[in-house]
Structure 1
Amino acid sequence: MMKQLVFILFILFVTLTPKAIAQEKINTNLKQEIINLSKDKWDWMAEKNADTLDKLFHEKSVFVHMGGSWGKDQELNIIKSGGIWYKKADIHEVSIEIIRDTAILLNRINLLAEVGGNEVTNPFMVTEVYIKENGSWKLGSLSFTKLLGEH
């Protein structure tokens, strides 16, 4: 009886472990894909590359800043006009959770930006929400939360 139990447990271990390892590798690769997409987004914002951002931003995307919140068209117009020029995002920490076809990424950054002709640097926790649609990731939300104190 004991030998049968050990044998069954061994078979379960041998059959389930590779699946768990494969799933973890898929999750790790998926997380890295989103992290890379987020880094590219910061570059595109710095370059004022509105055409590429237009493809990344979901039609119903929302953006939350210190000065208000708005949708995709207004965000793209602000980037094109230089109303906010995201010059450089120094990323200090990144965490990501994936729930089905949604990825929630948190970036702790120092953002160098030009706002209304004035250059400013602020520490932020930035929340990015990506949704997988038709095989590609779209940015659904980008929210800036200003951090207080030393970071």
Structure 2
Amino acid sequence: MRILLIGVCLLVMSVNSFAQNSKVEDEIIELSKSKWDWMSEKNVEELAVLFHDKSKFVHMSGSWKKKRELEIIKSGSIWYQKTDVHDVAVELFDNDTAILWNRITLLAHVRGTDVTNEFTVTEVYKKVGSAWKLLNLTFSKVRDTHKIEQ
């Protein structure tokens, strides 16, 4: 009887842990979707809150920190017009770090020209207090047949 009770307790704890992880994964996915919207709207106020002060951004043309990314978005030198998300995967590490991978088709206006590219985008989030902060966003150019391994 004691072994059965211990087994039931472990099962309940496992189900509860899975549900909590799933809830956090959903939260990160929604936050990423909001980020794409804010980028297309050039909403640097919301992005400034989301981006960690030490965040870094890697693009096809270079890499830079938070201040420069916000300047680029605000000025429209890169305008993230439309992001179609095809695949999403999230992995959690401890209770305060999440990595999200998106496979996207991005329509952007870059230095006067509309361009469409296929990317896998890696986003690293860290829980700071009660809020998730974006630490890193990296664009990796891929073929449209690329799939994110789940």
Q: Is 2:128 the counterpart of 1:140?
A: no
TM-score after normalising by structure 2: 0.94
Structure 1 unmatched ranges of 5 or more: 1-6
Aligned-pair identity in percent equals: 52
Distance 2:145 2:33 in 1: 23
TM-score after normalising by structure 1: 0.93
2:7 is aligned, of 4, 9, 13, to: 13
Distance 1:34 1:149 in 2: 24
Q: What letter corresponds to residue 146 of structure 1 in structure 2?
A: K
Structure 1 stretches of 4+ moved >4 Å: none
Q: CA deviation at 1:25?
A: 0.5
Structure 2 unmatched ranges of 5 or more: none
CA RMSD of aligned residues (A): 1.0
Q: For each residue in 1:76-99, what CA deviation from the matched residue of structure 2 results, as whole angstroms up to 9, or x when unmatched?
A: 000000000001110000000010
Look up the match of 1:39.
Answer: 33
Look up the match of 1:3.
Answer: none
Q: CA deviation at 1:123?
A: 0.2
Bigger Rg over Cα: 1
SS of 2:42 mapped into structure 1 = coil
